[in-house]
Amino acid sequence: MNESSNRLEAKNNGGCIGLGQDCNGTLVIACPDWETNRTCQEIYWESYMSRRYGTWVAAWNHWLARVPINGKDIGNWW
């Protein structure tokens, strides 16, 4: 929600796209219809979370961690 406002077609100024804001271009490969296919994006992000954190609880705890960047507390993107 915080990265895309839960919009499938979300794009940021850095070129990141989708629900979880993929910046590497792999979402487009996995989900060619990413702008309209919620099921594909949910499967894609579930797989990403599993590989990186193992569980949603671990991903959530990582997101809750606070990381200061340039003296500003910006939180922690997962």
Task: Give the pLDDT confidence of 3-60 residue by residue, as tens digits.
Answer: 788 999 999 999 999 998 999 999 999 999 999 999 999 999 999 999 999 999 998 8
Q: Which residue has better confidence, 73 or 43?
A: 43
Percent helix / strand / coil, the chain, rounded to 5: 35, 10, 55
pLDDT for 65: 82
Report domain extents, the chain: 1-78
pTM: 0.78
Would you tell me how many other CB atoms lie within 10 Å of the CB of residue 74?
10
pLDDT at residue 59, as a whole number: 87
Beta-strand ranges (E) seen in the chain are: 68-69, 72-73
